[in-house]
Structures are given as structure tokens and as C-alpha cells.
Amino acid sequence: MRQEGNLMNTIGENIATLRKKKGLTQETLAAVIGVSPQSISKWENNTNMPDILLLPVIADVFEVNIDSLFGRQTMGTAGNVEEAFDKCCHTMLEIMGSCIYRSDMGDSFENFMEQYTKSLTVNSKQRTAIIRKHGIVYYRDKIGGLLLKKPQNGWCELINSDESVAVLELLWDDDFRTALAEIIKSKKNVFTISSLCNSCKIENITALEKKFKESKLFVIKTIDIDGKQVAIYELIQGQRLILLFAILAYAIEYNQYESVYIGYDGDSNFCF
């Protein structure tokens, strides 16, 4: 409830204002979030407050930050990691260049490295790679670098793995990719399936729930909202997304592949 002398609106009042601004009825908002209309009414009348786990979901529906639900304006800061990324790329190319360079090339190592890195930057098709029996180092400026160690039982271990097939089947699902893209694009780290499917225009909620559980990207918590069990999804395995990004990025690289190399040192028996 509002304290005396405090002119700031309550969360319930802010929800009501945002709902009306969005042109939603209490019933429609309830359906989107996955709660009952009675819950919305109780929030807006300050009889009850939304569960803390629902605040990110409600904020996402209104396309505002959580502070806006409290009537506050905040300024955020973002860390800059570009320098670390660039240094990693530079170090990787320096090591690869030192392996590819030969003294009989008729040029100094410094000049070679200058032309080597410049060619990779200027020509987006240029690739460089070192392939040996124990692993692969691959780099293209547009996509970055790949460092891949050979599996203990050989490269065929990757091809024959049921686990790799399960991931590919996951990414094959249109609704899964659509929903995941929406989560990443709109930064929906916490949501209900109802609110997410409403944003993505996905009808088969049950199938998406199954795919989300298989992905192991989310923790699912069930809370009781006025007698209705509501499942809250939270993206807690964001680091795991890095692996999906790598799979997708190199799938595109495979599809668009051209054998254009500025530096290549390969072992013809690397597959065995």
C-alpha cells in the first residue's frame, strides 16, 4: 500500500496504467502472463502484489524494465570486452602465422605477419588453418577462430554421437529457434511459456515446453498464484548458449565455404 506522504504510485497502479496504455483488458493480460484475471485485479487494487518471480515477465509484456513497475528510472552500464576479444584474435593469428611462416619465403616474419593479418581483414573470404592429427586451428576474420581437439576415439566419434544428433534435432525445430531468438533479442531471461508464446505467435505450447526442457538452458520454478500453478522459466545456462552460437555460426560457415586460404598448413591424414 502507498505510505502517507509518498506520491509514488504502487506497483499495482503502475501495472494498471501500463495495461491501459497497451490497450489490454485484465483478462487479456492474465492470459498472456498465464495467471487468472482475479490475480490482475488484486494487483491493480493493491490487495495483493505479484510474486517477485513474475516481475520480469510483467515488465517484458509491457516492454519496460522492472524499475518502471516501481515508477523508478535507472541508468545501466555495460562492460566493454572488445579489447580482450581483439587481443585473443591477435594472439591466435600470431601463433598460427609463426607456424605457417618459413624463412625461405624471402621476407621477414614481421612483414609476413603484416601482410598475413591484413589479407584476412581486407578479404572476407580469406581463411587460414593448421590441421594436424591431434587437432585443428581455423580462423576467418568474419567469424573468428576455432580451436578443436580431436576426440579420443577419432573424428567419427562426433559423427556417430547420439548426443550430437539430439542437439541438431533441437535446432531443427522452428518454434524452438523462434522462441530462443525472441528470448535473446528482447533479453527475456525470466518468462512464462504463455507470455513467450504470445510474443512469438507460437500455438503449440506443450511441444515448446518439451524442447525447452531438453535444451537444459532453463530452470523451471512453479509458484502458486491464487490457486493456479504457474511455471516460471529462467535462463540460467546462458553460457551454454555459446555452444549453440558456435554450432550455428559454423553451420553457416560450412554452407558458405570457399577454399580461399592465405595460410594453410595441413596434414592429409588428419581424419584418421
**Which CATH number fits the domain 11-69, given the four candidates 3.40.50.2000, 1.20.1250.20, 1.10.260.40, 1.20.900.10?**
1.10.260.40
Q: How far apart are CA 184 and CA 179, in angstroms?
A: 9
Q: How far apart are CA 31 and CA 15, in angstroms?
A: 15
Categorize the per-residue pLDDT at 142 as very low, low, confident or very high, splitting at 50, 70 and 90: very high
Q: How far apart are CA 244 and CA 167, in angstroms?
A: 9
Q: How far apart are CA 129 and CA 137, in angstroms?
A: 6
Q: Maximum CA pair distance of the chain? A: 85
Minimum mean pLDDT among 100-109, 146-155, 184-193: which range?
Answer: 100-109
For residue range 43-87, what is the model confidence (pLDDT) as tens digits?
Answer: 999 888 888 778 888 888 888 888 788 776 554 444 455 678 888
* Average pLDDT of the chain, as a whole number: 86
Q: Look at residue 77 in the predicted model and tell me its pLDDT.
A: 43
The backbone torsions φ and ψ at residue 219, rounded to the nearest 5 degrees and listed phi first, read: -105, 140
Domain ranges of the chain: 11-69, 82-153, 162-242
With CA atoms as reference, report the closest residue to 258 among 119, 140, 101, 179: 140
How far, in Å, are 2, 99, 109, 221 from residue 240 at the CA level?
Answer: 42, 32, 39, 20
Q: What would the grid cell of residue 121 be?
A: 581483414
Q: How far apart are CA 176 and CA 76, in angstroms?
A: 30
Q: How far apart are CA 146 and CA 251, in angstroms?
A: 13
Q: Average the pLDDT over 263-271 and give the result.
A: 73
Q: Among residues of the chain, what percentage have pLDDT more than 90?
A: 47
What CATH number does the domain located at 162-242 have?
1.10.10.10
Q: Look at residue 1 in the predicted model and tell me its pLDDT.
A: 43
Q: Are 142 and 256 in contact (CB under 8 A)?
A: no
Categorize the per-residue pLDDT at 120 as very low, low, confident or very high, splitting at 50, 70 and 90: very high
More confident residue, 77 or 217: 217
Unique residue bearing C-alpha cell 538452458 = 217
Helix, strand or coil, per DSSP, at residue 149: strand
Minimum mean pLDDT among 75-89, 224-238, 251-265: which range?
Answer: 75-89
Q: Look at residue 269 in the predicted model and tell me its pLDDT.
A: 61
Q: Average the pLDDT over 237-245 and give the result.
A: 83
pLDDT score of 13 more than 50 = yes
For residue range 146-187, what is the model confidence (pLDDT) as tens digits?
Answer: 999 999 888 889 999 999 999 999 999 999 999 999 999 988
Q: How far apart are CA 61 and CA 126, in angstroms?
A: 44
Q: Which amino acid is at 1?
A: M
Q: How far apart are CA 233 and CA 220, in angstroms?
A: 5
Cβ neighbours of residue 49 closer than 8 Å, sequence gap 6 or more: 11, 12, 43
